[in-house]
Structure 1
């Protein structure tokens, strides 16, 4: 997955700092994941320079909106790079409901809500991963904020946690040696993906 051209280097070629808010309805069902993705400084600079070079009278805000539309359309063909599981069963997603694109401290931030096709009971069996299957872009939970995973409208005894990936060192070495012209096996990004989980204490 790439929205910009990047120079040759070992995988991954860029990163995204992200956070997730799990949306819970009044029936204590998980309905959607609200995500915010902040592109790394180089990706952001390249994107902004591209937007500035486009001829026309549109404001930067309008151009960012157009970029968001392009990103959303691209994600729709890639399962939104979002995978939600109930146990070992992967759940079907609905689609993107809302999205915005803005600049935050000179970094492009894309925020959106991706729904589940069917609401799921709030349960510790639910978990999710966000990743680029080719590992071209690395997704990292934003460590600059206190809670990169939140539950919205959940009971107070429930909260979200991050389980960090622990890939085999041999896999790490093999993937890091692949340059920009090399191909990684589709799905390899999952091995490097942190997992969001739900923890609920007894009431």
Structure 2
């Protein structure tokens, strides 16, 4: 059985789960989970893009909800070892929604292989999930543009890029490559009834094939000389 975080991220339209997330969001609210994200774009031999390393920090209320009962030694702290199983399970279960990640290099959308290096860590009252998402086939960027988008098509999960300096990192990129962060122009509705016609039923009908969430997509654009 999928764990709470897997059910929430990998099954965003489950009404029963939405009710169970009362700790994370008010009833009849959408989205239900808030994530502050960072991304590292990795390059390998020949300047080829090889993968994306994500770091997603969940809101404090949801972090408390999803980690209930995981303090195995009862010391009042959650160690990476205690969170290891949850990290691995949930990273795997995100495959159904393509890890909420879209990468285009030179205008061509890329496919991802199985994620590796899943890890979770508590920092104060927030939980961070990190993992490496490799490309199935590394691709040379050349003078083209690499465009990374992180968003939930159904808007069950709200992603926003961190304001930290290391939000968009390039590792091993050819000399002169630079990353630019682009944030969504659309104002994110805080509740399902923020606009006429936007009931919870409207959101529950959205699927991974929907395009509603793209208006809230965060983008990292990489240009190389």
Report the TM-score, using the length of structure 1 for normalisation: 0.83
Decide whether the 8 Å contact of 2:154 with 2:203 is kept in 1.
Answer: no
Aligned to 2:199: 178
Q: Residue 103 of structure 2 contacts residue 148 of structure 2 at CA under 8 Å; is this kept in 1?
A: yes
Q: Which residue number in structure 2 is paired with residue 110 of structure 1? A: 129
Alignment partners' CA distance in 2, 1:191 and 1:182: 14
Matches within 5 A, 1:135-154: 135-143=155-163, 145-154=164-173
Give me the whole-angstrom Cα distance separating, in 2, the residues matched to 1:173 and 1:85. Answer: 32
Q: Distance in 2 between matches of 1:30 and 1:157?
A: 15
- Are 2:67 and 1:67 equivalent residues in the alignment? no
Shift in CA distance, 69/125, structure 1 to aligned 2, threshold 3 Å: same
The 3 A distance-change label for structure 1 pair 195 and 99 is: same
Task: Report deviation, 1:179.
Answer: 3.0
Structure with the larger strand share:
1
In structure 2, relative to structure 1, the CA distance for the partners of 1:140 and 1:152 (3 Å cut) is same
Question: Equivalent residues in 2 for 1:1-203 (5 A)?
Answer: 2=8, 5-7=20-22, 8-52=27-71, 60-61=78-79, 62-122=81-141, 123-143=143-163, 145-167=164-186, 174=195, 177-179=198-200, 182-186=203-207, 187=210, 188-200=212-224, 202=225
Mark the CA change 1:147 to 1:180 in structure 2 (over 3 Å): closer, same or farther: farther
Distance change in 2, residues 1:21/1:173 (3 Å) = same
Number of aligned residue pairs: give it.
Answer: 196
State the distance in 2 between where 1:10 and 1:176 align. 14
CA distance in 1, matches of 2:33, 2:43: 32
Secondary structure, in 3 states, of the residue corresponding to 1:75?
helix
| RMSD value, Cα | 2.9
CA displacement at 1:156 relative to structure 2: 3.6
Q: Is the 8 A contact 2:146 2:223 kept in 1?
A: no
Distance 1:180 1:39 in 2: 24
User: Could you list the runs of 5+ residues in structure 2 that have no partner in the other structure?
Assistant: 1-6, 10-16
SS at match of 1:71: helix
